[in-house]
Chains A and B, each alone.
Chain A
């Protein structure tokens, strides 16, 4: 601090407290709504403080979803989201780290072409090419499957760039030493490069787990069987259905469960999260 101005510090705290309240308010209200019974949540103004139906509501949504005929239990959709998020995060890390290894440590024909081909994928998110991508998945018979949910999302330029950047910063002496000792390239990768990449992998995992968990359009397009629905799409779909007597308490309990895993990951791994965020954008 350059100088001591108590009123300025007080003002800063005031602004931050207001900011934090505004940012946290939607999540707080969601939590509050998920702890009351249905009738309470239909009377305006709704309560601002939690009620006594927390366990009951969460039990209901886990076992029966929105609790109407045809709604999917959240235990199913949460499992699907977990499979998808882990699959996307791990899949991206695996295929990116080995291709970055190839780009940095080998010289081979078509190397630049391959690199640019991967770079271009940055410019074509699923949202932009919805119709034809759906067609491809349908042709390959990958609708309603975990492989359909995961594989098309794991080609990632950002992860490849991150690992490439990291490998370029690894001292050449290590590679030389490995070669002198007669280690094969894969040996070098397993015993030296992979252990050194731990922090990059952790940072990337946090970002990609959130990315996979929060996917909305992709599961919406390619799943028609309830057994493959993910939690984010279920919540959103239920919210946009016009209901004569909406069960806000259940819908908000569903929304809480849909947010919980990624928020927990960010809260617990905050340092890796910030690192991953800043580095993947470099």
Chain B
């Protein structure tokens, strides 16, 4: 889409885009170029010299079982975050769409977590599940379950999933609610007149019409689980215990800053970047389709 009426100026438009272009070049393209360059270099152990090694960093990455453990972990983590997050918020949105009285009160509280930084959310959940004073641990202990995320890898993973779902619920809820409210009431009424009960109406009419919103949220949640959960892992588990929560985005940081393995970390960044490009592409393809729909 383009404007019919435009202004004729020679230099003004360049002046207007200059601030954004300069910042983009300096802080996006320069470092990204360096990242790709670093990913084909090997730095000397004592710094100073670096050597061009073609795709050796990628080769050693793919030969490293620890990297594939992290890939597997990230897939499990993202799938859990997206599945639980979407299911919970869909349930809440359907219920909120049904009630008339008090719905604004529910909505006002359900949007809070969006405002809480993932890093702070990690602190909050770490307190609830703290092995010595956590209130949830105490309750679980009462029913015979020992929960200690500091030593148990699976429980640590479960905890970062909870924290991630919690921060993302508001977003999903608002989008599902908007989707539900845009479904024509006449459709629902027609089905009701034909004798379809609430369950039948949900699965045969509401759910299919909500599928585009659901797919969009699936992509957004996957992106969030992949990148946005860094703060949660950093505050809660730092990738541990062992490697149990060392998801890809945390591993990039860990290997690059703590391990000082610049080539390996950059190679991981490049792969993560390709993944981001793929998901963003899917997201935009889909949105284009939704516009025509």
Chain A interfacial positions (CB closer than 8 Å to B)? 1-3, 5, 8-9, 11-13, 15-16, 19-20, 23-27, 29-30, 33, 41-46, 48, 94-96, 98-99, 101-108, 111, 114, 117-118, 120-125, 127-133, 135-136, 140, 151-152, 154-155, 160, 167-168, 172, 175-176, 179, 185-186, 188, 210, 213-217, 220-221, 232-233, 235-236, 239-240, 248, 251-252, 255, 258-259, 262-263, 265-267, 270, 273-274, 277-278, 281-282
Contact = CB atoms under 8 A, between A and B. Distances in A.
A9 B96 CA distance: 10
B102 interface: yes
Contact of B109 (A23, A104, A107, A135): A23
Contacts of B27: 133, 136, 151-152, 155
Most buried by B among A5, A98, A154, A282: A98
Interface of B: 1, 3-7, 9-10, 12-14, 16-17, 19-21, 23-32, 34-35, 38, 88, 91-92, 95-96, 98-100, 102, 106, 108-128, 132-135, 137-138, 166, 169, 171, 174-175, 178, 185, 188-189, 192, 198, 216, 220, 227-228, 230-231, 234-236, 238, 249, 252-253, 256-257, 262, 265-266, 269, 272-273, 276-277, 280, 287
Nearest to A238: B123
A222 B247 CA distance: 23
16 contacts: A3-B192, A27-B116, A44-B137, A99-B17, A103-B17, A108-B13, A123-B276, A129-B35, A131-B266, A132-B269, A172-B5, A175-B3, A175-B7, A214-B231, A270-B108, A281-B220
B272 A128 contact: yes
A182 to B, nearest CB: 12
B7 A128 contact: no
Cβ-closest 8 pairs across A and B: A214-B117, A102-B16, A132-B31, A106-B13, A262-B115, A132-B34, A236-B119, A236-B235
A29 B286 CA distance: 40
Contacts of B198: 5, 8
Given A9-B98, A27-B124, A259 B115 contact: yes
Contact of A236 (B23, B31, B122, B266): B122
Contacts of A167: 3
A221 B35 CA distance: 17
A29 B23 contact: no
A258 B120 contact: yes
Nearest to B234: A236
Contacts, number: 305
Contacts of A248: 127, 133
Contacts of B262: 131
Given A27-B124, A48-B135, A101-B16, A172 B3 contact: yes
Contact of A123 (B1, B14, B257, B277): B277
Given A98-B20, A221-B257, 19 more contacts: A1-B98, A15-B92, A19-B91, A26-B127, A42-B133, A111-B13, A118-B21, A124-B276, A132-B266, A152-B27, A168-B3, A214-B116, A217-B231, A217-B234, A235-B120, A240-B236, A258-B117, A262-B116, A266-B115
Contacts of A101: 16
A19 B127 CA distance: 20
Nearest to B96: A16
A92 B12 CA distance: 20
A46 B135 contact: yes
